[in-house]
Structure 1
Amino acid sequence: MAVEVILPKVDMDMETGQISRWYAKDGDTVTKGQLLFEIETDKAAMEVDAPASGILGDVSAAEGAVVPVGQAVAWIYAEGEERKAASKPVSEPAVEPQISHSVSEAPAVQPVVTPAPVAQTEIAGIRATPLARRLAKDAGLDLSAVQGSGPKGRIQKKDIESSLVTAAPVASPVQATAPRPVVTSPVQAALNAVWLRQGESGQLPIVLIHGFASDLNSWRMLLAGGTLRNPVLALDLPAHGGSPRYVPESIDAIAASVEATLTAHGVEACILVGHSMGGAVAAVTAARGIVDVRSLVLISSAGLGPQINGAFLNGLVQAKSEASIVPWLKELFADENMLSRAFINATVAQAQDTELREAQAGMAAHLCADSTQTFEIRSSLERLTIPVRLIFGAQDRIIPVAHAHGLPGEVGVHVFRNCGHMPQLEQRDAVLRIIGECSRAAQ
């Protein structure tokens, strides 16, 4: 018997949710508990698992669609089972609906939908999706100055992102002999962030900051099947993922944006985990003392010495096709067989976004000029009195493992053999165990 996949209610005030990403497509075979899609509300982003095993079909809500709570977005069929009549894909509605009852009151019945009261922004003559309103608020952006591209001029996520880019132009590639201009955000804009795990009540949140030319989704492979009990919030660095696309003037400036982001998400105390450039940002954020960081985990961290593989940085941001990207991705791993198809596909997809790559090229040229890290975090680590763990791979070809030497004696250092620049994937269980230890020590 076919099983309905509905958009769930994830907070008390939720009336609609936006499908931000599908992890399975129509016709895929899925298993119960498998991650199906991600939804965003005004308050958070949540992952939704498959309620049953079978074949996914009749997907009726595309990525970006705003859907009422309780509405079916797909069905899961048994092998050979006749499908229902496919619905017309849901696009962003002109008016946001509300549900006349909660999902828990009638979980198996299609809810009755009535027009919602006009949102406050619409009273002022401004139409915007809930996600667009939240992003604008986080970035300090006046919605009245944004041109909407949705139905009836409705402002969407991409309109907010475009406005931020317009306000802070991205540095374009220039000849190697010419200086690349540094472009900074006109406001201390918060960064794109997603709650990857709800966690258990009373547990400190873990905040994850990815490395250069990656995004927050790269952490999902670490968390898959993990046993962390904490809420997990992942951020996109500036010029990465869904964050504003500008070239930050310093690691301190990025740390300030991290602080603004954590404030926007109500995070007062946390455990910070950073990879590569994200490690440097995490260390500086902890040392600034504005956020109550209880413990710090740095994975293949930048900022511990001047050397860095500049050819890798430049080659990766310039590569456009799978054929040119894969050789650079292999540099990340001690065993190139660890390079997964999903990892390749995600990187190739990013490479098609010219604007994104141009911003990242500017960031690399400024913060890692002439294959030299122009920032340092050793002084930050010396000021810290919290538990700090540093994780490195002995075969790291991006940042020399020798940078792990000479740190304060209180810093715990883990160097894994047969491991490159990606310990969170190459030594996944060990890294999860270390993060878990730091979490327990910080409670």
Structure 2
Amino acid sequence: MADIIPIVMPKWGLEMSEGTVQDWLVREGERIEVGQALVDVDTDKISNAVEASDPGLLRRIVAQSGETLPVKALLGVLAETDVSDAEIEAYIAAFEVPAIDSEDEKAGPTFDYANVDGIRVRYARRGPDEGRPVLFIHGFGGDLNNWLFNLDAVAEQHPVIALDLPAHGQSQPKLPGTSIAALADFVLKFLDAVGESGPVHLVGHSMGGAIALQMAFDAPARVASLALVSPAGFDVAINTGYTDGFVKAQSRRDLKPVLEQLFADPGLVSRHMIDDMLKFKRMDGVEPLLAELGAALFKDGKQSAVLVGDLRTFGKPTVVFWGKDDRVIPADQAANAPPGAQVVLFDATGHMAMLEKAGEVNAALQRHLSAG
């Protein structure tokens, strides 16, 4: 029988178990190309489009708008015209949703915890056991799920580690200090705690980018390369309307316009994302710590740590990603990248290029990591 290719609900990130189908962006009978956006899906983290991983003719749309389906559920079917309608119907009727991670029984627990200077830190490992690790460091108010479109893609070739910084995500609401230097020192100690004493590739976003810069300056032997997404630490300008607004927001109505500043397309901010962030902010002790951290890092409406000049002698592969429509840290700061750094600017992209342009970022990351 000729090939029938399923389109299935993707697994975006470490915690996704289901998604809600929104609008189909293509029609039955349309020829599909690899990478083409097929259908919008809403998850408990973000709304995004499912992209085609195979080319072909879209013969059947199975999942309808409004349906909430588990990861790997059948969304649609690609098949050429030599496949009969009866064969397609039989395929759909016989399709069974496989168990998540059934193909990788050795994957182990999704998350682990480490104790670093008396602070309990959540982290995740993915990918092969061998090779130089890639450490992902999120930004202010974020968590390791900010990398939900990137971790598994990079883990296809490299060991990956992602952590929740102190007072973020599901790490303990306690700070090792309120400076970038204190946070960088903490992350270095975290690497020691999880058995990574050798050099690692660093991927940092926003505040996490500044932490990566500081680590490269303080401990260059521990850093194999840098990949920075809209990093802090390149200049003083920052939109403290976002950082202050995030700390102060107490309701969906308050938080929604704040989170929309992160994206070029505000439609990416789902109700689930808003609820998830409110739940995090309402954890005991979190909000005053975020306020304390924000006041120290963004004092008088400016970034307190400008670090990029210290990298002029770093001499290792560095790539900088920036969305041209970034409303949190201006994209023109990319001009301050150190000599020899690769700078990648994205049109129609805001502060979250790793989510908004995940495919391009992942491809560029793989090329960057292979050079490091």
Could you say whether these structures have the same fold, taking a TM-score greater than 0.5 normalized by the shorter chain as the test?
yes
1:216 aligns with 2:216: no
CA contact (8 A) 1:238 1:248 kept: no
Residue 266 (structure 2) pairs with residue 315 (structure 1): no
Q: Report Cα offsets for 1:310-335 as digits up to 9, x if no partner.
A: 11111111112111111001111111
Out of 354, 358, 361, the position equivalent to 2:291 is: 361
Tell me the distance in 1 between the aligned counterparts of 2:151 and 2:225: 19
State how far apart, in whole Å, the 2-side matches of 1:260 and 1:244 are: 17
- Find the counterpart in structure 1 of residue 8 from structure 2: none
CA contact (8 A) 1:390 1:412 kept: yes
Q: Find 2:214's aligned residue among 284, 290, 307.
A: 284
Matched, 1:234 2:162: yes
CA distance in 1, matches of 2:351, 2:284: 25
227-236 vs 257-266, which moves further: 227-236
Q: Which residue of 1 aligns with 2:10?
A: none
Distance (whole Å) between structure 2 residues aligned to residue 254 and residue 314 of structure 1: 20
Q: For residues 73-128 of structure 1, give each alpha carbon's deviation from its aligned partner in whole angstroms, at most 9, with x where no partner exists.
A: xxxxxxxxxxxxxxxxxxxxxxxxxxxxxx99xxxxxxxxxxxxxxxxxxxxxxxx
**1:403 Cα deviation from its structure 2 partner:** 0.9
Quote the Cα distance in structure 2 between the aligned partners of 1:290 and 1:244. 29
Q: Is 2:335 the counterpart of 1:405?
A: yes
Whether 2:364 is the aligned partner of 1:434: answer: yes
From 70, 74, 93, the counterpart of 1:30: 70
Find the residue that maps to 2:148 and give its secondary structure: helix
Structure 1 residues 282, 321: CA separation in 2 closer, same or farther (over 3 Å shift)? Answer: same
Distance 1:222 1:343 in 2: 18
Distance 1:433 1:192, change over 3 A: same
- Residue equivalent to 1:13: none
> 1:336 and 2:313 equivalent?
no
CA shift, 1:201, in A, is 4.1
- In 2, Cα distance between equivalents of 1:354 and 1:234: 23
- From 254, 259, 284, give the equivalent of 1:324: 254
Of residues 404-413 and 360-369 in structure 1, the stretch that sits farther from structure 2 once superposed is 404-413
1:53 is the counterpart of 2:93: no
Q: Distance in 2 between matches of 1:322 and 1:295?
A: 39
Shift of 1:239: 2.2
On the 8 A contact 2:203/2:226 being kept in 1, the answer is yes
Q: Contact (CA 8 Å) 1:239, 1:247: kept in 2 or not?
A: no
Code of the residue aligned with 2:264 in structure 1: it is: A
Give the corresponding residue for 2:189: 260
* Structure-to-structure mapping, 1:63-82, within 5 angstroms: none
1:247–1:360 CA contact under 8 A, matched in 2: no
State the shift of 1:229 in Å: 1.5
Aligned twin of 1:246: 175
How well do the aligned residues superpose, as a CA RMSD in angstroms? 2.9
CA distance in 2, matches of 1:430, 1:29: 27
Name the SS of the counterpart of 1:405 in structure 2: helix
- Cα distance in 1 for partners of 2:246, 2:117 equals 32
Structure 1 residue 298, shift from structure 2 partner: 0.4
Cα shift readout 1:32-69 (whole Å, capped 9, x = no counterpart): 599xxxxxxxxxxxxxxxxx72799xxxxxxxxxxxxx
CA change 1:326–1:441 in 2 (3 A) is same
What letter is aligned with 2:144?
Answer: L
TM-score (normalised: structure 2): 0.68
- CA separation in 2, counterparts of 1:416 and 1:372? 24
Q: Distance in 2 between matches of 1:421 and 1:29?
A: 30
Distance 2:281 2:160 in 1: 27
Which residue of 2 is the match for residue 394 of structure 1?
324
Indicate conservation of the 8 Å contact 1:204/1:439, yes or no: no
Question: Paired residue for 2:313?
Answer: 383
Normalised TM-score (structure 1): 0.58
SS in 1 for 2:336: coil
Asked if the contact 2:209/2:231 (under 8 Å) is kept, the reply is: yes
Partner of 2:64: none
Three-state SS of the structure 1 residue aligned to 2:149 is: helix
Checking the alignment, whether the CA contact within 8 Å between 1:254 and 1:281 is kept in structure 2 is yes
SS in 1 for 2:203: strand
Query: How many pairs align?
Result: 279
